[in-house]
Amino acid sequence: MLAGQKEAYRRFLLPAVIAKIKRLDLKARLVCEGFLTGLHRSPFKGFSVEFSEYRPYIPGDELKRVDWKVFSRTDRFYVREYEAETNLRAYILLDASGSMSYSSQGISKFEYASYLAASLVYLLLKQRDSVGLVTFTNRIENFIPPIQSASHLNNLLRVIDKTKPEGETNLSETFYQLAPRLKRRGLIIILSDLFDDKERVIHSLRLFRYKKHEVLVFQILDKNEKEFSFSQPLVFKDLETGKEITLDPRQLKREYQRLLERFLLDFKRRLQEAYIDYNCITTDMPFDQALFAYLEKRSRLF
């Protein structure tokens, strides 16, 4: 790709441009291909021959992996898994609570997180990694175990595309429920605004590390949530509980920014102390910057 063409392609990495494209698979492809293809090459090649376990068949699994002898005995479909069949087992955790629906500039936090999740799915599967998806509010809404196949991409994108942000959130309780279901260690990628009790969230994230998972957190915020650039008295509404409060943000801006900065710095410091990779991004950030952060963290795994 010529330099001029590469620079022109970067316009598609802007969230406002991506939001105008209707098909989620095209959004994921635009973000990943062109700019990111070729940046990462996994050192692992081929497949292991060491059998590990059976698991139930999931739509999208290749039929050649179905164990027909087990089917003849149980009348149920199971596939064989191997110890090192893929480079990495990744779980993408997508926050679908009501607070993620907030938008001040045409693209909501949930839309941004969805495009980023779809891009990560596309990229990981392209690298022959095994990818699963969890969407959650104050409970687990969808749990799709990680597999590696081309057809799995459409299954995951379909779930992401149909998910709508609504309801309350309980991050820590969701993570506590999820941890026992992740039997084998892998990479956990969390896409959330992290609007919940900080102490409980940090404790639940440490549980993933205790179980030897690698954890990468993308805290996704709207630009206005960081800058608090409101210019007149407003009614602020909690998107999860519906509660409202009227205030003049001009009187609170400086104190709000101070407290938020302290909150984010403390979050970052304590997660890093727990060896959890943390990135705070706003919805106006081009996707390549967010994904470069991921690739940098990913490179440390090998």
- Give start and end residues of each alpha helix (H) in 180-286: 198-210, 223-227, 249-273
DSSP element (H, E) containing 65:
none
Give the pTM. 0.75
CA-closest candidate to residue 182, choices 203, 207, 162, 202: 207
pLDDT at res. 31: 67
Per-residue pLDDT tens digits for 243-295 = 777 776 677 778 888 888 999 999 999 998 998 989 999 998 887 777 777 77
Which residue matches tokens 């997508």?
94
Query: Which string of DSSP letters, residue by residue, matches the chain?
Result: --HHHHHHHGGGGSHHHHTT---HHHHHHHHHTTTTTTS---S--S----EEEEEE--TTS-GGGB-HHHHHHHSS-EEEEETTSSS-EEEEEEE-SGGGG--SSSS-HHHHHHHHHHHHHHHHHHTT-EEEEEEESSSEEEEEEEE--HHHHHHHHHHHHH----S---HHHHHHHHGGG--S--EEEEEE---S-HHHHHHHHHHHHHTT-EEEEEEEE-HHHHH----S-EEEE-TTT--EEEE-HHHHHHHHHHHHHHHHHHHHHHHHHTT-EEEEEETTS-HHHHHHHHHHHHHTT-
CA dist., res. 210 & res. 298, Å (int):
19
pLDDT at res. 3: 45
Distances (CA, A) of 1 to 32, 33, 38, 127: 15, 12, 12, 21
> What's the distance, Cα to Cα, between the start and end of the chain in Å?
28
Give me 94's structure tokens.
Answer: 């997508």
pLDDT at res. 12: 54
pLDDT at res. 8: 46
pLDDT at res. 48: 36
CA dist., res. 54 & res. 52, Å (int):
7
pLDDT per residue, tens digit, the chain (302 aa), is: 444 444 444 555 667 767 776 677 767 676 665 434 434 333 333 333 344 455 676 666 677 777 776 666 667 776 766 544 446 889 999 999 999 998 887 889 999 999 899 888 888 887 778 899 999 999 999 999 998 887 888 899 899 989 999 988 899 999 999 999 998 888 999 999 998 888 999 999 999 999 989 899 999 999 888 887 776 666 666 666 777 777 766 777 788 888 889 999 999 999 989 989 899 999 988 877 777 777 766 666 54
For the domain bounded by 3-42+87-299, which CATH number is listed? 3.40.50.410
pLDDT at res. 38: 36
pLDDT at res. 72: 67
Give me 297's structure tokens.
Answer: 């963290």
pLDDT at res. 85: 46
**Parts of the chain belonging to CATH 3.40.50.410:** 3-42+87-299
